[in-house]
Structure 1
Amino acid sequence: MEKIGNWDEVRGRIGRRTRFLAVFLAVLAAASFAADGARPAIAQNVPQAVLPAITVEGQPATKPKQRTSQRTQMRAASVARQAQPGADRAPQGPIDGWPGGLPRDYIRSTTDLNVPNATGSRLPGTARDIPASVESINQATMQERGKTSWVDALQGLTGFTSAVRPGAAGVASTRGFTENGVAVLYDGIRVTNTTISTRNYDSFIFDRVDVLRGPASVLYGEGAIGGAVNLVRKQPSGVNEPFETISSLTTREGVRQAAGKGGPLGNGFSYRLDGVVNGHNGPVDDNQVRYGNVAGALRWDVTPQLSSTVDFDYMKSKIENAYWGTPLVRGQIRSDLREVNYNNLPNNKYDDSVLWLRWNTTYDTEELKIRNRFWSYQSDRDWINTYRFAYIPAGGTCSFRGQNLLNNTGTDQICRQTWENLGYDHRFIGDRFDVNWNGSLGAMPLSTVMGVEVASTRWDSPRNEVTSLQLVDPYNPAPTDFFTRGTARTQNVRADLTQKAVFGEARLEVLKGVKIVGGFRVDQMEVDYNRQPTNQLYSKTFEASTYRMGALWDIRADTTLYAQYATAVEPRFALFTLGVTDTPFTLANARQVEGGIKYAFANGRGELLAAVYHIEKTDIPSTDPLTGFTVQVGKQSSRGFEISGSYRPMEALRLEANFAYVNAQYDEYRTSTTANYTGNTPPNVPQVVANFGATWQPFTNWAVGGWINHRASIKADDANLVTLPSATTADVFATYRFVQNADLTFRVRNITDAVYAAWATDANYVILGTPRTFELSLRTRW
């Protein structure tokens, strides 16, 4: 398929998206009109500046209370702390975001200690109340940094690297663990597992993206040894929110159009509706990416204490000639292969869709909060592609899975190895019920959470993967009909996974400023696996208990020390994709020791966070060098430190920086009697990740800024045969607010046009980072 390259085709693409957006805007306008007509006149004058904690906590507009409890005091303190940055001045201009709005409308540092955080703990409180390393990037900050997807949003956070790799639309690395070692949650719900369930959702539909570094199994179950990422949706609020739009054009013939609106509907009802369509040319020839998200929520405040919210999210993506990687040449990245697409099949396919439905009910009194969340998730995928590419010099041999092909063409060639025809229907339903009580144990303030969770997964995947070696020209690979190499979907994998869990947390203030925090989770997971026509059948039950113990000490009003010990478990692969040969193995175990400091300074204009940690993972399947049998004796560890902070030395200048160092290695790991990887570094784990950003507002209506992101070199495979060089990229922007409710931003991503590996798939090929891109974006709020 030819790449779009003339104005008529570009205009056609813009026209189709504009028609879609027009329909969406009409729905928003109707909802807004209904809201304006139904809302009492007094509600139109509710000051928005008093609402920060309402949105983050997910509470309705101000509710009458009879008593002042610990919960009320905590919320009041949270509101006051969030208001501090703007309490002594009138925030204005692009450096602040949108003055007078909700918390997500204000640009804030990702290390802000005073915002509520429900990702690192289910107990009420802020980031300061969690004995762990947490960070959060909200909607306004994502817009300022130009982060158009949640995967992009992770770049710049402390110790994180991320990418979209073949077969997994969102993977991350932190604290020495990657891919399934980092859980991805959608509104606090984890779909097993990361590499299968993640999608590259547009960031516009999210209120914020939260991260927790370190083991998270005590909160979210198996996996999550390196950390957790929580994509938190925008929710209905108790006031009339502005109608917001974003329209962007990029040099990669990209068009992004987004719109959102929310507010009260009257009679206790409020809503939120967001939508975005996105299309652009990918990094390689004939690669076109198109996707869209629509998300909506309706909330009913039945009484001042009882509320119920139903919401939905739908995403659909279609990628033509999908990018599946660039081969290395003698272990090196060749810039002249940067735009070559080796998945150029005339009948290739890469289609995805996801539908989320959720129903949340909350009963909230002074001391007691009861919550129930029901969810339904359905995902479909349809792929036809070729992948796994290897450079073969003239006279060399391409060898893979027992096949060998001699390169006797007289020139260097690229060997295409695997041909995949895959589809799946992934369904996941579940329910979580928990009770939060805030009171005291004697004279000591006590907060507790107890809950249960049940979930069921059905994964049905018709498929076939064929190894068929084909040599093609490195610069002009011959288009090949898939079915001359691959086959129809003659196999089918069907797996059922049932999960049950009991969990709890508690925080006790034993002395003034000294808190003990603990949590536990007990999981039972039952797997039924059926692969046909090979008749591979098995059923197995996994059981696991994880816990976390920690302490917090407020040595001063602005300084908190913390320490924690946490455990985690992880299966060898996704539970519902474990083959028959994997059934003898139990879950791997992990434990972490962490200590750190959280410090606010300069009267709230700066924060400094630091942490040191040591993680050890044991019971990894490894080959016994004497017997040749695979036994669970493998070990992996990482130790390191992280430091991050932000500072606003003057009203017109904001600085942010972070630095993470990790020493990660396999302490004992073999895949055969001869392949010994002990002492090696796991792939895609940089020893150093460092980021620096600055934003300056020289005039009231102008802001300029940029970010520099650096990661050290990474290993491409377990054997450490290939080391990929370090990478440093820089993004810059300038924003002009030409009227009070509209601004225009010019942005350059990867301004130096660095050619680097965003992710390594193996020692033969990698995923390259996005090339230099220019963008012009218009934002409005009415």
Structure 2
Amino acid sequence: MLHTLPYPLFTPNRLAAAVALATSLPVFAQTTLSTVEVSAHRNAASLHLDQATPTGSRTGITARELPAAVSTVDALQMQERGDFQIREGITRATGITDIGSGGTGGLSFSARGYTGTNSVGIAEDGIRIQTGAGTQNYPGSAWGYERVEVLHGPASVVFGSGTVGATINAIRKEPSRTASQEAMAAVGTDGVKRLGVGATGGLGEIASYRIDAYGTDIDGYRDLGQSREAKLMSRLRLQPSSDLRVDLTADYSVNRPERYWGTPHDNGRILPELRRENYNADDAVIRYADTRLRARVEWQVNDRLSLSNELYHLESKRRWMNIESYTLNTAAHRVDRSDYLHIQHELAQTGNRLEASLKHGSHRAVLGWEAARVSFRHINNAPYGGSSSVSIQNPAHGQWFSPDATLAKFDTASTLHGFYAEDAWQFDERWLLLAGFRHDRANIYRDELVSGTDFGRSLTGNAWRLGLTHFLTRDTSVYAQYATGHDPVTSMISLNLANADFKLTRGKLVEVGLKQKLGNGLGEWSAAFYRIDKDDIVTRDPNNSALSIQGGSQYSQGIELAAALTPSPNWRFEGNVTRLQAEYTHLIERVSGVGVSRAGNTPANVPTFVANLWGHYRLGAMQTSLGLRHVGKNYADNANSLQLGAYTVADASIAWQVDGKTTLRLLGRNLADKLYATRTYNNQMILGEARRFELVAEMKF
């Protein structure tokens, strides 16, 4: 029985003792991250090809050396574009589209033909945040982060299971002994108010700190559109000697996003008159609270060997109390509401990563072991009864009520282990070979608090990659790689009995590409060509459609182009284009008791064309920027019966550098007030944001 386990494994006293131990012993850690300097204005465009990418490899190699595609969006780019949320900044990266909703915590993406939290992983400073019941809500706002990187394609060697499509890694700003402060204040249409402050500096002879605070208060353009967010990020760095460093991190955030679950459609047609309507209850609730504690020690033993140990504890408490399903009844001029949901998540993740970095001759290698214990409690009022009907326009929202009791339904306790090794071998001046292997093991125990059908399950997966980079010149490299990975069929730490017998799905990638820095400061560009095949997808038994089995498969193949150009001192351009084809090669779904093949269909939420373009013109103290984002058509279901139309959104900003410390910025989002949907939820379209303007003041001291 699950409740007989030593659960939770880490009590507060044990955690405190472990933190003390981690910070007192010179045990090992990862290669130190490179520091990125960000100034108030950028003179040259860059893809950051000469920057070390801890997201792409833990060996410390640069993006140009890496035989894989990686994208970087830095803090200044997000400022220039008005991307205040991590998810907004990420959708400017090559080929990434936002498919989030309130039900997924807002952080769910489509990448290279694979979608959702089971295929596109989320990390902060290299630590994966485990997903329970398909929900990911952290990190939220972009304030306090130096940059966000995306490793495209299978990333299981670096980040473990659930990363066949891509992995997104938010990298925070580091402490410095040089004192500096920054602040941001913004006001805008629809009652937008934002405030952010950050400071860093030295403390005594050996310490430095970094602290960031951020808050928003938004009324919203839609009925019941209010949202609130607040967070505090802090890090204390102790460096008693040049070869020993200790980082202590403590964060807390509370987020109350807009209580919106989509807009009902008329046979796939979005009705413009419903754009500002919301059919949720007056007293609806969405709330996320997250706590992060971390202790990291790095010890440079000698010129060849460094060790690090990273101990962390993460907690997420989430609550939803909403009406989540709406059906349009045009004949009666009503909207029928159902799915009165009350759900709570209590998630705690405590883990440790021990790593050794070795340099010997032409080799840069890492060996590591990650271990984590994750507890997850799911509280809900299933079967989610309740129904009502309201007018299509200006509805009387009413109060939330359900005849079903809200109870703790199940607990899970998961123990996760990952063992990995990588080696970057520069065996010739013009050749680099990157090889990596990882073994993951997950032991999941589920205690059914109502039904009593407890069970345990072990899942294992191996992943490896082999990549070769050839440097044609000092500024130009070509590469090829073969990589494998694995995804769970559902959120691993909330695995249910129906999926308990399924193993991890398998993905494999073949990719070739080019990365080049152009002469005379013109800029950088890259190209990647890839194919990913994924097997063991859950499908229906062709001989008995009532049975689910593994055996489905799909593929995706495409081309990704990215460039950052500075044709003259006044002009700067950044852009990327993705063209892909994704299809099921074998998938059977049950429809009205009959098995129906989806072979040849495009998976849901996968656009075949995505493009971003930004142009900046700077004259003296003024900079004008214009951006276009295009997302091609995609489908809401695997049957391809409901199509979401393509859309193009235009954004712009005008910045005035008042002096060396102050910049004023006028931002405009969705200038044409385009009406479009990013995805569907139940029987509704999730609409993109309407036109918005903000005036932002950015100050440095």
Distance 1:122 1:238 in 2: 26
Distance 1:704 1:486, change over 3 A: farther
Is 1:566 equivalent to 2:486 in the alignment?
A: no
Show the counterpart of 1:217.
156
Corresponding residue to 1:598 among 512, 515, 529: 515
Amino acid at match of 2:116: E
Aligned to 2:453: 536
Please state how far the C-alpha of 1:723 moved relative to its aligned partner.
Answer: 0.6
163 and 779 in structure 1: CA distance in 2 versus 1, 3 angstrom threshold? farther
Deviation of 1:478 after TM superposition, in Å, equals: 3.3
Q: How far did 1:631 drift?
A: 1.6
- Take 1:262 and 1:278, find their aligned partners in 2: how far apart are those partners? 22
Does 2:90 correspond to 1:142?
no
Equivalent residue, structure 2, for 1:474: 392
| 2:540–2:549 contact (8 Å) kept in structure 1 | yes
* Aligned amino acid, residue 212 of structure 1: L
Partner of 1:160: 96
| AA of the residue aligned to 1:247 | A
Amino acid at match of 1:619: D
Superposition pairs for residues 185-196 of structure 1, below 5 Å?
185-193=123-131, 195-196=134-135
Structure number with greater Rg is: 1
State the 1:491 CA deviation: 4.3
Q: Distance in 1 between matches of 2:290 and 2:587?
A: 37
Q: Give the residue type in structure 2 aligned to 1:372.
A: N
How far, CA to CA, are the matches of 1:436 and 1:337 in structure 2? Answer: 57
- Please state how far the C-alpha of 1:533 moved relative to its aligned partner: 1.3
Measured after TM superposition, the shift of residue 415 of structure 1 is 2.3
| 1:174-573 to 2 correspondences below 5 Å | 174-180=111-117, 181-193=119-131, 195-199=134-138, 201-240=140-179, 242-319=180-257, 322-343=259-280, 345-364=281-300, 365-394=302-331, 411-440=332-361, 445-465=362-382, 466-483=384-401, 485-573=402-490
Alpha carbons of 1:429 and 1:107: their partners in 2 closer, same or farther (altered >3 Å)?
A: farther
Which whole-Å CA distance do the structure 2 matches of 1:735 and 1:421 have between them?
Answer: 44
Superposed displacement of residue 163, structure 1? 4.6
Higher relative contact order (CA 8 A, sep 6+): 2
Match of 2:556 in 1: 638
Q: One-letter code of the match for 1:357?
A: L
Report the equivalent of 1:14: none
SS in 2 for 1:751: coil
What runs of 5+ residues in structure 2 fail to find an aligned partner?
1-29
For the pair 1:723 / 2:650, whether they are aligned, the reply is no
More displaced stretch, 365-374 vs 462-471: 462-471
Contact 1:384 1:420 (8 Å CA) reproduced = yes
Q: Is 2:28 the counterpart of 1:111? A: no
1:367 CA drift (Å): 1.7
Report the RMSD for the aligned CA atoms in angstroms: 1.8
TM-score w.r.t. the length of structure 1 is: 0.82
Q: Find the aligned partners of 2:352 and 2:688 in 1 and give their Cα distance.
A: 39
Aligned-pair distance for 1:540?
Answer: 0.5
Instruction: Report if the CA contact (8 A) 2:423-2:434 is conserved.
Output: yes
Indicate the percent of aligned positions where both proteins have the same amino acid.
28
CA deviation vs aligned residue, 1:197-217 (integer Å, no higher than 9, x gap) = 333611111111111110011
Structure 1, residues 215-235: CA drift from partner, whole Å, max 9, x if none? 011111111110000011111
Q: Distance in 2 between matches of 1:133 and 1:221?
A: 18
Deviations 1:360-418 (A, max 9, x none): 10012422121111110011012210102222343xxxxxxxxxxxxxxxx24322221
2:529 is the counterpart of 1:612? yes
Judged with a 3 Å threshold, the aligned counterparts in structure 2 of structure 1 residues 505 and 58 are, in CA distance, closer, same or farther, namely closer
The whole-number CA distance in structure 2 between the counterparts of 1:192 and 1:108 is 37
Number of residue pairs matched?
663
- More deviation, 473-482/680-689: 473-482
Distance in 2, matches of 1:680 and 1:530, equals 38
Structure 2 Cα separation of the partners of residues 667 and 677 of structure 1: 8
Q: Distance in 2 between matches of 1:198 and 1:559?
A: 38
Question: What is the aligned counterpart of 1:769 among 650, 667, 688?
Answer: 688
Q: Deviations over 1:155-204 (max 9, x none)?
A: 22111111541222211111011112100101111122284233361111
1:719 shift after superposition: 1.5
Cα deviation 1:701-756 (Å, max 9, x = unaligned): 11111110001011011221111110100111111112221011111110000010
Within the candidate set 736, 743, 747, 2:667 is matched to 747
Q: Which runs of 5 or more structure 1 residues have no equivalent in the other structure?
A: 1-55, 60-74, 84-95, 100-105, 395-410
Structure 1 contact 300–307 (Cα < 8 Å) conserved: yes
Q: Are 1:592 and 1:614, in contact at CA under 8 Å, matched by a contact in 2?
A: yes
**TM superposition score normalised by structure 2:** 0.92
8 Å contact from structure 1 (residues 491, 531) kept in 2: no
Q: Structure 1 CA distance, aligned partners of 2:46 and 2:412? A: 39
SS at match of 2:512: strand
Whole-Å Cα distance in 2 between the matches of residues 733 and 265 of structure 1? 38
Tell which deviates more after alignment, 719-728 or 278-287.
Answer: 278-287
Q: CA deviation at 1:295?
A: 0.3
CA distance in 1 between partners of 2:573 and 2:31 (Å): 28
| Contact 1:646-1:657 at 8 Å conserved across structures | yes
Are 2:207 and 2:237, in contact at CA under 8 Å, matched by a contact in 1?
A: yes
CA distance in 1, matches of 2:168, 2:97: 12
**Partner Cα distance (1:98, 1:708) in 2:** 23
* Contact kept? 1:684, 1:759, Cα under 8 Å: yes
CA distance in 2, matches of 1:623, 1:318: 39
What amino acid sits opposite 1:118 in the alignment?
Answer: P
Using the TM superposition, give the Cα deviation of residue 570 of structure 1 relative to its aligned residue in structure 2, in angstroms. 1.0
1:471-521 deviations in Å (ceiling 9; x for gaps)? 3322133323322x3533134221111001110100112222111111011
Aligned to 1:91: none
Shift of 1:536: 2.7
CA distance in 2, matches of 1:350, 1:122: 37
SS, match of residue 539 in structure 1: strand
C-alpha spacing 1:200/1:251, structure 2 compared with 1 (3 Å) = farther
Residue 657 (structure 2) pairs with residue 737 (structure 1): yes
Give the counterpart letter for 2:166 in structure 1: G
Given that residues 188 and 230 in structure 1 are in contact (C-alpha distance below 8 angstroms), is that contact kept between their aligned partners in structure 2?
yes
Change (3 A) 1:116 1:271: same
**Does the 8 A contact of 1:462 with 1:492 survive in 2?**
yes
Letter in 2 for 1:470: S
Measure, in 2, the Cα distance between the counterparts of 1:676 and 1:163. Answer: 25
Q: Structure 1: how far apart are the matches of 2:441 and 2:178? A: 43
Kept in 2: contact 1:107–1:140 (CA 8 A): no
Separation (CA, whole Å) in 2 of partners of 1:638 and 1:392: 38
Q: In the aligned structure 2, how far is the partner of 1:639 from the partner of 1:595?
A: 12
